[in-house]
Chains A and B, each alone.
Chain A
Amino acid sequence: MNYLQDLLLQPLQYPFMQRGMIAAVLVGVVCAVVGAYVVLRGMAFFGDALAHAILPGVAVGYLVGGGARGPLFWWALATSVFAALGIGALIRTAKMREDTAIGIVFAGMFALGIALISTVRNYTADLAHFLFGDVLAVSTSDLWLIGAFGGAILLIVIFFYKEFLLLSFDPLLAATLRLPAHLLDYLLYILIALTVVVSLQTVGVALMVAMLVTPAATAHMLTRRLPVMMLLAAILASFAGVIGLYLSYYISVASGAAIVLTSTLFFIIGWSAKAINQAITRRKAI
């Protein structure tokens, strides 16, 4: 018993671990709730593209600020919102398949980011930081930013709950009820953009899509109503964050990867449980 207690408490004596835990849980909850809409509307690729499209903005911020980390958040924020609106407009107007349009923007922006960062001499270390995040480097002021923006995102999702639900399930009904569907669509794009920025430090650009998609997809499989799905996704994401950080501490793996792998494990467990359950009901039926 004491051993277990030590196992759990020992990492928490470090302030950086405490801050990392809080950040991972906050980010997990926000990503899971917004991710519910990403999953239901089939926007995983949009989210992935958005995360990657931030890189040039962060790179410019990095170069302009001479490596200072404070302003990076705001650079990322501006780029992300810009990219979300840009991709959103492209989806609407481009006469090509949606995923093609997103793919072009995604790769182009990402390449620009890598090109910019590669102009710095010791770029591999910095690039790795952006690509894979570093939740253990989160500062107290970062936490306040994450909390404030995450809270605002959740409040907007709750406030427009009915509208987002309707728009995701049946856009045509939204149109015949004369809801401002385009405006609400763009609002959702911006919310996803903000979520991505807030989460950037936790898992980085490359693994962002997993934060948006995996807990929500697991919850979708196991629940029958949207609020319950959001709640379960948030709980799963929080646990993935905490367990991932413990794993990262004890077996020295990258924190972002550990969080995402834990989340993936939850998905596999959920999927297997559901498959077994279905097999049993089928057998009973026969």
Chain B
Amino acid sequence: MINLFRSNTFFPHHVQHRPDAPLLEVSDLSVRYDSTLVLDNISFQLETGQRAAVIGPNGAGKTTLFKVIAGVLPYTSGRVNIYGHKPGGHICIAYLPQRSQVDWRFPVNVSDVVMMGRIGKLGVGRVPGKKDWLYVRQCLKEVGMAELAGRQISELSGGQQQRMFIARALAQEAELFLMDEPFTGLDVTSQEDILHIMDGLRQRGVTVFASTHDLHLASEKFERVMLLNRYMIGYGKPGQVFNRENLIEAFGGHIRLIPSGAETLAVGDSCCEDENI
């Protein structure tokens, strides 16, 4: 019985990576829910180790895009390839949820949550052993959370919550981190901590694709940015993408552009508009 569960009859076969293919390749992607177009005509590529941000108003489809890339939402047309294969077969993709989407009163502590990342490797019916807990501890150490391993999750600060999810993605041994609003609601110090951890991730060859509302942070700290509002307005280096026309197209009237010397300062506020999809 145990063998039955360990073999591929119960858990599906995971795909092998094609070494010549790019980490992430999306072309002409469209997603439709009940005749509503949620994402339209998205095309871009991410190389291993790159750090990219997706920016757009609420309801722009950022979370949908992440879920499609993670292979947990079906798409209507186009192509999504991760190392040359469709996303559904990969276990190398981590989705780090928005903190507001998590039930923080759930009876688990920090290392319980990080151990969840190991479940794919463990197999059904196996209890985590000493080696697995050591692995979890190592992941927590890398995000500076080792001393908080036994902490109940409701007692964490926002920055600690975010770092716990990064540790879980490390425990998963994921190569692509899809981070949904990792900076929202964090103070500057916690944001710096996360960015510092991201630098470490790059050295490990981990690719980060994060959504954010913060144009400044995206243009300063990310090498690729995408402007999204149902369709892709621009993708590339921040200097090329964040121009006046693109920003107005993305945010409409919800953004104010303030000329400041040679630069244009964008003051965006999309957090409070009711545009839920």
Stretch of A47-55, A59-67, A168-176, A207-215 lying at the B interface: A168-176
Q: A170 contacts B117, CB within 8 Å? A: no
B54 within 8 A of A: no
Chain A residues near B152 (CB-CB < 8 A): 224
List the B residue with the shortest CB-CB distance to A224. B152
Task: Give the distance to chain A from B226, nearest Cβ to Cβ, in Å.
Answer: 21
Residue among B10, B103, B109, B117 making CB contact with A180, cutoff 8 Å: B10
A162 within 8 A of B: yes
B102 within 8 A of A: yes
Q: A226 contacts B122, CB within 8 Å? A: no
Alpha-carbon gap, A13 to B148, bound state (A): 53
Chain B residues near A178 (CB-CB < 8 A): 11-12, 14, 88-89, 91, 120
Q: A179 contacts B113, CB within 8 Å? A: no
Task: Give the distance to chain B from A240, nearest Cβ to Cβ, in Å.
Answer: 20
Q: B72 contacts A176, CB within 8 Å? A: yes
Within 8 A of B (CB), among A143-190: 159-160, 162-163, 165-166, 168-170, 172-173, 175-180
Alpha-carbon gap, A160 to B127, bound state (A): 10
Alpha-carbon gap, A165 to B112, bound state (A): 10
List the A residue with the shortest CB-CB distance to B92. A176
Chain A residues near B113 (CB-CB < 8 A): 169
Alpha-carbon gap, A229 to B112, bound state (A): 14
Q: A179 contacts B107, CB within 8 Å? A: no
Task: Give the distance to chain A from B82, nearest Cβ to Cβ, in Å.
Answer: 12
> Contacts A176-B72, A176-B93, A178-B91: A220 and B107 contacting too (C-beta < 8 A)?
yes
Q: B11 contacts A225, CB within 8 Å? A: no
Within 8 A of A (CB), among B93-130: 93-95, 97, 102-103, 105-109, 112-113, 116-117, 119-120, 122, 124-125, 128
List the A residue with the shortest CB-CB distance to B67. A172
Q: A177 contacts B172, CB within 8 Å? A: yes
Q: A169 contacts B103, CB within 8 Å? A: yes
A-B pairs under 8 A by CB, number: 79
Interface of B is mostly: loop
How many residues of chain B get a CB closer than 8 Å to chain A's CBs? 35
A43 within 8 A of B: no
Q: A179 contacts B119, CB within 8 Å? A: yes
Q: A172 contacts B116, CB within 8 Å? A: no
Q: B95 contacts A172, CB within 8 Å? A: yes
A272 within 8 A of B: no
Task: Give the distance to chain B from A38, nearest Cβ to Cβ, in Å.
Answer: 14
A118 within 8 A of B: no
Residue among A166, A168, A220 making CB contact with B119, cutoff 8 Å: A166
Task: Give the distance to chain B from A155, nearest Cβ to Cβ, in Å.
Answer: 11
Chain A residues near B108 (CB-CB < 8 A): 165, 169, 225-226
Chain B residues near A220 (CB-CB < 8 A): 105, 107
Q: B71 contacts A180, CB within 8 Å? A: no
Chain A residues near B94 (CB-CB < 8 A): 176
A12 within 8 A of B: no
Q: B106 contacts A40, CB within 8 Å? A: yes
List the A residue with the shortest CB-CB distance to B94. A176
Within 8 A of A (CB), among B159-202: 168, 172
Alpha-carbon gap, A177 to B71, bound state (A): 10
B70 within 8 A of A: yes
Alpha-carbon gap, A165 to B113, bound state (A): 10
List the A residue with the shortest CB-CB distance to B109. A225
List the B residue with the shortest CB-CB distance to A162. B119
Q: B109 contacts A224, CB within 8 Å? A: yes
Q: A176 contacts B124, CB within 8 Å? A: no
Chain B residues near A18 (CB-CB < 8 A): none
Task: Give the distance to chain B from A181, nearest Cβ to Cβ, in Å.
Answer: 9
A278 within 8 A of B: no
Q: B109 contacts A170, CB within 8 Å? A: no
Chain A residues near B105 (CB-CB < 8 A): 220
Q: A170 contacts B116, CB within 8 Å? A: yes
Residue positions of B touching A, CB distance < 8 A: 10-12, 14, 67, 70-72, 88-89, 91, 93-95, 97, 102-103, 105-109, 112-113, 116-117, 119-120, 122, 124-125, 128, 152, 168, 172
5 further A-B pairs in the complex, CB-CB below 8 A; given A166-B116, A179-B119: A168-B106, A169-B108, A172-B95, A172-B97, A178-B89
A-B contact pairs, 29 of them (CB 8 A): A159-B125, A162-B124, A162-B128, A163-B119, A163-B124, A165-B108, A165-B112, A165-B116, A166-B116, A169-B103, A169-B113, A170-B97, A172-B67, A172-B72, A172-B95, A173-B168, A176-B72, A176-B94, A176-B95, A177-B91, A178-B14, A178-B88, A178-B91, A179-B119, A180-B11, A220-B107, A224-B152, A225-B109, A226-B108
